[in-house]
Amino acid sequence: MSAMSAMSAMSAMSAMRPAERKSLSGPERRRRPGQHGLPLAAKRHRERRDAVWAGGIVVLLVGVLTAGCATLPQAGPVQEGRTQEGTSEPHVQAVAAPPAPDANLDEIVQGFLQAMLAGSSDDFRVARSYLTAEAAAVWNPLALVTVYQSGEAPVLADTGTQLGRIAVSVNQVGLVDESGRYSVQESRPWSETLSLSQDQDAQWRISDLPDGIVIPADVFKGDYVPTRVYFPSADGQFLVPDQRMFSRASAATAAVQEFLAGPPPYLTGAVRAVVPAGTRLMTDTVKVTDRVAVVNLSSAISRASETARATVLACLKSSLTALPTVDSVQLQVESVPLDAGSAAGLEIDPQGVEGPFYLGEAGIWRYDDGQAALIEGTEAATAWQSLAVDHSLGRMAGLADGKISLIDKIGEAPRVLESPEGVGEFTAQPAFDRLGWIWAAADDAVVAFSAEGEPFRLGSSWLDGRRVVALAPARDGARLAVALAAGDRIELRVSGIVRGDRAAPWRLTGPLTVGEVAGGLGSLSWADDVSLAFLTASSTAEELVPAVFTVGGDIDYLKQPTDPPISLAAGRGQTEIYVAGRSGGLFAYSPQRRIWAPLASGAGAVALAP
């Protein structure tokens, strides 16, 4: 639809009388100001014919638009917006206009929706002008972000109960909560209601609306930026990320505020809280000047030890310097610069992976420097159905007939590890963590084996009665990704690993559900500190296909190799993903060319050493 035809449709909608609107089917809900889920763009049903509001044309143009259908508006002023936090270039946005005098219901709603899409550039000032004073005072636009499918226009209609009550429905595909937690989901119906009333001057204003905003996926991807909030691991060796999605206009400020709030529940006990209670930002925003982010904290930070202050700086630097506008971070205490020192030894996503290794004829093979070589003394591994390799490269484990088999030293015969009482056959591919523990799963049980082979069953209520399809410990040793069967779907969850003496895992925290996939899933592996790689079903392929899922992001289905994959291992994002095919082919993925390069033949299960 052209911009002019879109404007014509909007004019036609403005001329509609309220009685001409059709009601939405399904239950109608009313929410008071302060609750979640605000509608943003609209399409109205008419009894005679449909009128479509082209939300993507008269609203917001962000620096990176992923949808090819977006165009500049043919009417209305356009200007360069201010540079946003976390962006390398300013946004270009349609300027929102305040309500016109004596605007009718349609014009108020349409204007509000347009002002909402441009709201991040003016802190929703113009959008609030479409609300009554009471509603504007309590409305929180960033409390919840509902994301709907790009290219689809939301549907707006009267509820049929009284004048000025309008229900809005969309096909929701994602949700961001107030802390920036983004969850991806399959498309599902979503509906909310706005109410309008006339003020003392007989001007229509929106008087009752939920908190939050609703935006299409293409606008969301341009206007929100993935941001890692880091916390130190319990042993102080690594920085553990908690992935969030923040508005580009306030990403630096939001990241600092969430860090000061402390670890989220699913990481509590798996990471350390280093910020003294009561520490807060002394300014409304984190100011970035000459690419230096100034974090001005209250005097409570002075109670932190020298090591803790250095760790605070390391966490904030790692988060903020990942934003395009920040090169360095300065800590201040009530506007006085703080010398926090440096935290030695803290690493982000250790990249010391080795391999690939794979099961093949006569034992375990390693592919290195363009050649495949058999590891002598591993002949017994030919009976294994899966493979795991320790970072020391001296220990190897596999799944054989429902048991975990371990080679303690190359050349030695493997030994079968004893299962804990009450645990049946193991079904998921085992994995080593960086501390040498072997992780395995059997139905609803997760078991960690020590270097000596002693088993520890990690019981958690969220595992009861749920079949564990796959698991993968993160390379930081603080998190465990678990794939759980849920009917015809697979839920992806991330749990914190709480360790005791000798780094023994003794508890899994209540998990964070990060996504779900349809059909089967296999060979779960961490590609980097916030991305998981696995094999899964696809709507366009009969066989399992490789996919990469970013926690708090989307699933990227990779091209299918010529040999349908049966096993996958990942190490450095999409630059290091390997699969073994059904016919024995070993392939490496090339993200630049989006192809699979053949490496070797005769391969079974594939693995990398963390």
pLDDT tens, residue by residue, 519-566 = 788 899 999 999 999 999 866 667 889 999 988 777 889 998 999 999
pLDDT of residue 88: 40
Residue 49 is predicted with a pLDDT of 26
| The pLDDT of residue 232 | 95
**Residue 78 and residue 22 in contact, taking contact as beta carbons nearer than 8 Å:** no
Q: How far apart are CA 85 and CA 602, in angstroms?
A: 51
In this prediction, residue 575 has a pLDDT band, given cuts at 50, 70 and 90, of: confident
What count of other Cβ atoms lies within 10 Å of the Cβ of residue 96?
26
| Predicted local distance difference test score (pLDDT) of residue 95 | 67
Proportion of the chain above pLDDT 90, given as a percent: 54
Domain 354-599 CATH class label: mainly beta
Q: Shortest CA distance to 112 belongs to which of 166, 158, 149, 151? A: 166
Supply the angle between the helices 306-320 and 251-260 in degrees, to the nearest 10. 150
The fraction of the chain above a pLDDT of 70, given in percent, is 82
Question: In the prediction, which pLDDT does 5 show?
Answer: 35
Mean pLDDT lowest for which of 66-75, 132-141, 192-201? 66-75
pLDDT of residue 38: 36
Q: How many Å apart are CA 161 and CA 356, to the nearest integer?
A: 65
pLDDT of 31:
36
Name which of 518, 519, 517 is nearest 481 in CA terms: 517
Of 92-101, 357-366, 478-487, minimum mean pLDDT range: 92-101
Q: Is the pLDDT of residue 100 over 90?
A: yes
Q: Establish whether the linkage from the previous residue to 414 is cis, with ω within 30° of 0.
A: no
Q: What is the pLDDT of residue 343?
A: 67
| Most confident listed range (55-59, 159-163, 323-327, 341-345) | 323-327
Give the integer Cα–Cα distance in Å for 63 and 78: 14
- The pTM (predicted TM-score) of the whole model is 0.80
pLDDT band at 367 (very low <50, low <70, confident <90, very high): very high
Span 279-326, pLDDT tens digits: 999 999 999 999 999 999 999 999 999 999 999 999 999 999 999 889
Average pLDDT over residues 505-510: 94
CA distance 494 to 9: 46
Please tell me which residue, 494 or 183, carries the higher pLDDT value.
494
- For residue 69, the model assigns a pLDDT of 35
Lowest mean per-residue pLDDT among 60-64, 148-152, 344-348, 522-526? 60-64
Structure tokens at 464: 């009861």
Which residues belong to CATH 2.120.10.30 in the chain? 354-599
Q: Mean pLDDT score of the chain, rounded to an integer?
A: 81
For residue 193, what pLDDT is reported? 87
Model pLDDT, residue 20: 34
Instruction: Specify whether the CB–CB gap between 396 and 388 falls below 8 A.
Output: yes
Distance CA 170, CA 156 (A): 9
Strands 238-247 and 347-348 come out as parallel
124 pLDDT exceeds 50? yes
Quote the Cα angle for 383-388-392, to 5°: 125
Q: What is the pLDDT of residues 170-189, one digit of tens each?
A: 899 989 998 999 887 778 89
pLDDT in tens, 444-484: 899 999 999 999 999 788 988 889 999 999 999 999 999 99
Q: Give the pLDDT mean for 229-241.
A: 94
Cα dihedral 447/453/454/459 (nearest 10): 0
Quick check: 509 pLDDT over 90? Answer: yes
Compute, in degrees rounded to 10, the torsion defined by CA atoms 415, 417, 418, 420: 180
- With cut-offs at 50, 70 and 90, classify the pLDDT of residue 356: very high
Number of Cα atoms under 13 Å in the Cβ half of residue 206: 34
With 70 as the cut, is the pLDDT of residue 394 above it? yes
The C-alpha angle 122, 124, 130, rounded to 5 degrees, equals 125
Pairing of strands 431-432, 438-442: antiparallel
Give whichever of 64-73, 431-440, 568-577 has the largest mean pLDDT. 431-440
- pLDDT level of residue 160 (50, 70, 90 thresholds): low
Return the ∠ at Cα 523 (arms to 519 and 527), rounded to 5°: 110
| Mean pLDDT within 189-205 | 92
- Confidence tier at 346 by pLDDT (50, 70, 90): confident
- Tell me how far CA of residue 550 lies from CA of 189, 233, 322, 474, 525, in angstroms: 24, 21, 16, 13, 12
Cβ atoms of residues 568 and 546 within 8 Å: yes
Does 45 score more than 50 pLDDT? no
Mean pLDDT for 43-51 is 32
Top-ranked range on mean pLDDT: pick from 165-174, 205-214, 218-227, 341-350:
205-214
